[in-house]
Amino acid sequence: MPLDQYSSTYDLSFWGGLPVRKFEVPLTQLHDAIPDFELRPFGEPPNDNPRMRVIVRMPFGADKNERPVASVSDRYDLLQHRVVAFWLADNVEGLGPDNAKAKVVMTEYGERIRITIPLESRSCDLFSRGRERPENEGDIYRPEIEVMNSVDRSSALHVSIRWRRIVCLNGMFTVEEDRMRSVHHVDLSRTKLVKDFIEQRLAVEPDVLAQLRGWEKTQVEKGEVQAWCEDHLRAKGIWPVNTCARLWAILETGYDGTVQPPSKRGERHPLSSYRVGQHKRVPGVPHPIKTAYDLAQLLTWITSNQRTVEMQVEGTEDVPKLMKSFLASRNL
C-alpha cells in the first residue's frame, strides 16, 4: 500500500462528522484567513422564534454565499474566531516567537476551529540533565499554544499548552495544569486571564517533562505491553479494537499501517490475528521498545494519527492517564 493511502486512512479529516481543512498562515495574517459570523433572528415574523437565534457564516473566500451553521438560544454570546485571532496576534508576540506561524484546522464552513502556535524559542532538551542514553541527544520538546473555539455550541473557548517532541513530531503531551477549559463569555477585557495563564505555565517546568524523564528510566518488555494492550485497552473498551491492533503490531514490528480484521466474524480474536500493514516506520522510537518512555511515544503516535479532531484531542490528553494505568498494572 502506498504511503499516500496510509495518509488517507489516518489523516485528520473530520470534526464531529464535519469535514475539515488544514492550513498554515503567519499569525499576523490569521484574522483574514478565517471567516466572520453574524447572529440573526430565527425566522421572519410572524414565523419566527423569539427565543432562538441563528448563526450565519458570511461570504468567505471563493464561497460567496451566506451559510447558516447553527441555531442557538437568544442568550447565546457569540465569540468570533476573528476576535480570538486578534487577541493571539496582540499577545503571543510577547511570549517569544518571532514571525510566529499559526497552524489551523477548521471545519468546512468555519464553525469550529483549532489554532496551534509553536513557541520555538521556548524549546528545551528533555534529557539535558542526567542524560543516560546517547541516542537521546537532541531530544527536544517545544511548547505549543492550542486554542479551540466554536460558534455552533459544540464547545466553549479552550486554551491549552502542549509539549511536542521535535525529532518525530509525534509526542504531544498535555497535563491538567496546562489546560484552561470552558472559558465562557470571554470578552476582550478578560483575555488577560488567558495571557496570564499562559505566561505562568511557561514560567515553570511542567510536571509532564518530569514524568517523561521518569518513564525513560523505567525498563519495560514488549510482551508485558502487548498483554496490557489486550487485557486493558481492549478488554475495558478504552480503545477500539483496530486501534489496539495497531499498537500490538507496532510493538511486534516497529511499523504502522491499516488494519484488516480476521475474516471469521462473530467471535473474539486475539490482537495477534489482526493483519496490520507494515507501511510506515514509527519514527523516533527504538524497536523493540526498551522503556516506558518509548511506550509513551507509541501511544502519542497512535492518538495523533487519527481521522477526527476529537479522537486526536481526547486521545493525546489521555496518554498520561494510560501510562499511569500501565505502570500500576506492573505492581499487581
Q: Convert the pLDDT of each residue in 172-214 to its tens digit.
A: 566 555 666 555 555 544 567 777 777 887 887 777 788 889 9
Domain boundary among the residues 170, 192, 214 is at: 214
Q: Quick one: 88 and 233 in the same domain?
A: no
Q: Which domain holds residue 37?
A: 3-214
Q: Quick one: 120 and 107 in the same domain?
A: yes
Distance (Å, rounded) from C-alpha 81 to C-alpha 157?
A: 10
Q: Which residue has the cell 509539549?
A: 163
Task: Check if the beta carbon of residue 174 is closer than 8 Å to that of residue 162.
Answer: yes
Q: Convert the pLDDT of each residue in 38-88 to its tens digit.
A: 999 999 999 999 999 999 999 999 999 999 999 999 999 899 999 999 888
Count of structural domains, the chain: 2
Please provide the average confidence, as pLDDT, over all residues in the chain: 87
Q: Quick one: 159 and 306 in the same domain?
A: no
Q: Quick one: 143 and 71 in the same domain?
A: yes
Domain boundary among the residues 214, 234, 264 is at: 214
C-alpha cell of residue 49: 422564534
Distance (Å, rounded) from C-alpha 157 to C-alpha 144?
A: 16
Q: Quick one: 139 and 226 in the same domain?
A: no
Q: Quick one: 206 and 223 in the same domain?
A: no
Q: Quick one: 209 and 219 in the same domain?
A: no
SS3 144: strand
Whole-model pTM?
0.88
Q: Quick one: 59 and 115 in the same domain?
A: yes
Q: Quick one: 305 and 195 in the same domain?
A: no
Domain boundary among the residues 214, 235, 255 is at: 214
Is the pLDDT at 170 greater than 70, yes or no? no
- Chain centre distance of CA 212: 18
Q: Which residue has the cell 507509541?
A: 298
Task: Check if the beta carbon of residue 75 is closer than 8 Å to that of residue 29.
Answer: no
Q: Quick one: 124 and 91 in the same domain?
A: yes
Task: Check if the beta carbon of residue 312 is closer than 8 Å to that of residue 12.
Answer: yes
Distance (Å, rounded) from C-alpha 209 to C-alpha 82?
A: 33
Distance (Å, rounded) from C-alpha 257 to C-alpha 3?
A: 9
